[in-house]
Structure 1
Amino acid sequence: MSTIWPHDLGDTKGPKYKKLADTIRSAVGSGTLSIGAKLPPVRELSYQLGITPGTVARAYSILTEEGLLQAEVGRGTFVAAAKKPVLDDVWARQLHIHEIKNPGHISLFSPRIPDVGQVAAMRDALRLVAQGPDLAFLSYPTRDAYTPLREAVVNWLSELPLGSLSEQEVVLTHGGQSGLMVVMQALLRGPQPTILVEDLSYAGFRRAAELLRAQVVGVEMDECGILPDALEKAARKTGALVLCTSPEVHNPTGLYTPLERRQEIVRIARRHGIQIIEDDCYRMGDPRAPSYRALAPELGWHVSSISKSLTPALRIGFALAPQGRGPDLRRVAEHGYFGLAQPLAALSCILLGDPKTKDLVRAVQKEMARYIRVAVNALGGFDLTWDDQVPFVWLRLPAGWRSAAFSRAAAAQGVQIRSADEFALRDGRAPNAVRIAINAHVSLAEFESAMLRLRALLDSPLEQISV
């Protein structure tokens, strides 16, 4: 390996793990590193290059996720064989689901909810849509045409503490991530605006901000969410326009921000003119405190979807503007994508307007809770954060494991999970933890088998793959 790069990675700016990953990619592309070539152990390479073991481990983890490298428990890290890009592989990369289609392998990257009758409900609704008037399939979307759907959304959300809400303040989006983008576009101004997020947060916040050329600054947090003193300091230092946060279900830790902390955050936001975007997409159960939209009607924006309650396949989300800001939000949506496709809007209106759909949501929650209990039974002896209304668990790793190494070892055992690194800012520090999503597309027995494989790894950390 010493012939692949000089004895250091140069003096160019940028994270060293990225430069190391680029160097390995170039070596593989040029043939200097051939398929099957074994890379040095993490500690050995870190010593050769004069960098930390964590930097090497992060570079290896990135390249393993890309499929360029493969880790084999007890043997080391190797250059992977090139794969033919078939359709399934393309879909997997686009959806961030790197699931290996082999028996016993299971993806726990993102939550997957069970079918408790919503598939049949969608098929019935599609038949009704297909019988609609001909012009519905030949016309551009219009604002007035979607009034019934927006009213159905208001009714769908009526039991939540969102404050006063009218259909004029609802914008229909293509899922929660689309909702975040629409709200940010309505709020951001200036050549390089600043967005604040928790130090550990949903990666979609950063991705949306980067697309809009915004700077993302992390704010220190504790077990209750954002620390008010840290938020005050960041607000003064950066002049940030927006705070993105998930107070009901923090992603990835599953923690919750209590009312008192939310009220402190609102006071600081008001003092500095910061708008608050609340991402409520991961909550499956009842909310535990009023939303920021209810606590601060003039600056609270709310984003949610049906992905964790009914289906992620339809890509239906809701962006809610503060009182009086509905026109700003609608303008962005209409200029960006006109509106939802007419058949999709009609389908959503049927589903959300059917009283039986709420029964399906409760059935999804009940079934997901069964899987969560299996995860807790298997992993509860470790430092685990969980809630039976949250579709993932957060596992702080015991001594002997690092998050990147544990994720690689789990993948080698056929279980794909997310390292804490994926939720940290690029220059931030990640805790020694992993997020394990609930996959109810597999049987309870298959899911339990995956949990037991993780427990076996936790019980026997391997020195050769820990750093």
Structure 2
Amino acid sequence: MGTIWAPSLGDKPGPKYQRVADTIRAAVENDTLRVGTKLPPVRDLAYQLGITPGTVARAYSTLTDEGLLQAEVGRGTFVAERQTKVMDDVWSRELHLREESDPNHVSLFSPRLADVGQVAAIREAMKKVAAADPLMFLNYPTRDAYRPVREAVVEWLSDQPLGPLDESQVVLTHGGQNGILTVLQAVLKDAQPTLLVEDLSYAGFRRASELLRAKVVGVGMDEHGIRPDSLELAIRKTGATVLCTSPEVHNPTGLFTPQKRREEIIKVARRHELQIVEDDCYRMGEAGAPSYRALAPDITWHVCSISKVLTPALRVGFALAPKGHEQDLRRSAEYSFFGLSQPLAELIRVLLSDPRSKELAKEVRKEMAKYVRVAVNALGAFELTWKDEVPFLWLKLPAGWRSAAFTRAAEAAGVQIRSADEFALRDGRAPNAVRITINGQVSLAKFEDAMLRLRSLLDNPPEQISV
């Protein structure tokens, strides 16, 4: 069933793709768009709203991930059936072999971890928490109550090259993104502060900065990450006081910053009293070099989480303050969200203290590596950046393709990926590339089929280049 729906975005604030998604969501909720209704083609709706097709495609993809819309290859995008059936079966270690409702659809937007036993471990930990002191479920969290949790975090991180770490330097956050925001609240001091990031960088840096009304400026990169000369120039031009960077696993390119380059960056930072915010949330394996925190513990704020090694569902991360700034970080967390709930914090303590958890993290890494190899086998003829222990690949597109057009074509083929445009600053230039993440919750056969669909597109670019 088609529709004569005539939407209007109005003048609401926010990113245009989000406004499109909100407009569609509202139309579904008030039954203007009913179950089974076919939405306009991406280009038609883009023309009608006066925006780019890529913006509409991103809105459709967002709502498809939510389950509000359903994309059917060769037919279009439809309002999906509402999910009312309660799942009463028990999730098992075969979770990653369960196929999605649409057999042709594979989401490669964000990493999806395979279940190698961590679901059972979390359930077991939840039972222990449920039997804990009832006051835990009644009282506000306190700093002293969290000490055993912070100590468990220190032990969990003890094999990482972070330098000396004391529990007093640890703040528990609601995932890595909240960790970044909490750190920036502690370090951004000026009325209109400036934050530096790689020219191509994790969008969460920008989003956190926007919330704090900070200006974001890109720094030039090469194959080793941030260039020291570009960093020096950016500081002199802007007076920036903070640098956000991901030296171990750069998101989205997967690049690695070697120790020598890190030491050069630190020299520049010290000359200009620059604080470094180190995001280490995407690394699944061993570190390739000492962290900025180990090399410059007095100026480095470190953020990591369990999202890529155990599960992102619990939304738990760890922010580590430089020595002498522990109270600044604690104050930032306490003033903004009081800290994690006590039951959740206790769940993390039980989980991280379980000696099986590190083995589970290794098994997750091994399982995800199988998918990485499948992707490399299918796409290795093209310019691909990958590592076994990184849950995404960076693909530079061949002649004939532009990233926005390729992303749309991939979605039409049932595979959702991210364009490089999503990682570029608003006034920056994005390379002609896409990020492909690993989905360990579909079978290897289905994942391989998705990779082969992408390869078919790469082998057959359109006759006319579109944007």
- For 2:235, the equivalent position in structure 1 comes to 235
- For 1:419, the equivalent position in structure 2 comes to 419
The aligned runs of 1:307-456 (5 Å cut-off) are 307-456=307-456
> Per-residue CA shift, 1:437-463, capped at 9, x if unaligned?
000001111111100100011011123
Partner amino acid for 2:103? P
What secondary structure, in the 3-state scheme, does the structure 1 residue paired with 2:357 have?
helix
TM superposition shift of 1:239? 0.6
Verify the 8 A CA contact 2:392 2:436 in the aligned structure 1.
Answer: yes
- For 2:118, the equivalent position in structure 1 comes to 118
- Distance, in Å, in 2 between the alignment partners of 1:125 and 1:453 is 40
> Per-residue CA shift, 1:180-225, capped at 9, x if unaligned?
0110000111221000000000000000000010000001101100
Verify the 8 A CA contact 2:248 2:283 in the aligned structure 1.
Answer: yes
- Distance, in Å, in 1 between the alignment partners of 2:59 and 2:349 is 43
TM superposition shift of 1:294? 1.0
> Per-residue CA shift, 1:387-429, capped at 9, x if unaligned?
0010000000001111010000000111000000000001110
- For 1:461, the equivalent position in structure 2 comes to 461
TM superposition shift of 1:134? 1.3
- For 2:298, the equivalent position in structure 1 comes to 298
- Distance, in Å, in 2 between the alignment partners of 1:72 and 1:356 is 41
The aligned runs of 1:100-179 (5 Å cut-off) are 101-179=101-179
Partner amino acid for 1:291? S
- For 1:214, the equivalent position in structure 2 comes to 214
Gap regions ≥5 residues in structure 2: 1-5, 7-14, 86-98
- Distance, in Å, in 2 between the alignment partners of 1:347 and 1:411 is 38
> Per-residue CA shift, 1:115-155, capped at 9, x if unaligned?
11111111111111111111111111000001001001111
- For 1:11, the equivalent position in structure 2 comes to none
Verify the 8 A CA contact 1:394 1:435 in the aligned structure 2.
Answer: yes
- Distance, in Å, in 2 between the alignment partners of 1:130 and 1:70 is 38
What secondary structure, in the 3-state scheme, does the structure 1 residue paired with 2:451 have?
helix
What secondary structure, in the 3-state scheme, does the structure 2 residue paired with 1:243 have?
strand
TM-score computed with the length of structure 1 as normaliser = 0.84
What secondary structure, in the 3-state scheme, does the structure 2 residue paired with 1:144 have?
coil
- Distance, in Å, in 2 between the alignment partners of 1:359 and 1:368 is 14
- For 2:94, the equivalent position in structure 1 comes to none
Cα gap change, 1:104 to 1:81, in 2 (>3 Å): closer
What secondary structure, in the 3-state scheme, does the structure 2 residue paired with 1:463 have?
coil
TM superposition shift of 1:86? 7.2
Verify the 8 A CA contact 2:400 2:462 in the aligned structure 1.
Answer: yes
Gap regions ≥5 residues in structure 1: 5-16, 50-54, 89-98
- Distance, in Å, in 1 between the alignment partners of 2:54 and 2:182 is 32
| Number of residue pairs aligned between Structure 1 and Structure 2 | 425
Verify the 8 A CA contact 1:284 1:390 in the aligned structure 2.
Answer: yes
- Distance, in Å, in 1 between the alignment partners of 2:445 and 2:258 is 36
- Distance, in Å, in 1 between the alignment partners of 2:161 and 2:39 is 56
TM-score computed with the length of structure 2 as normaliser = 0.84
- For 1:263, the equivalent position in structure 2 comes to 263
Q: Percent identity?
A: 65
Verify the 8 A CA contact 2:107 2:416 in the aligned structure 1.
Answer: yes
Aligned-CA RMSD value? 3.2
TM superposition shift of 1:57? 5.4
Cα gap change, 1:35 to 1:133, in 2 (>3 Å): closer
- Distance, in Å, in 2 between the alignment partners of 1:303 and 1:287 is 14
Partner amino acid for 2:116? V
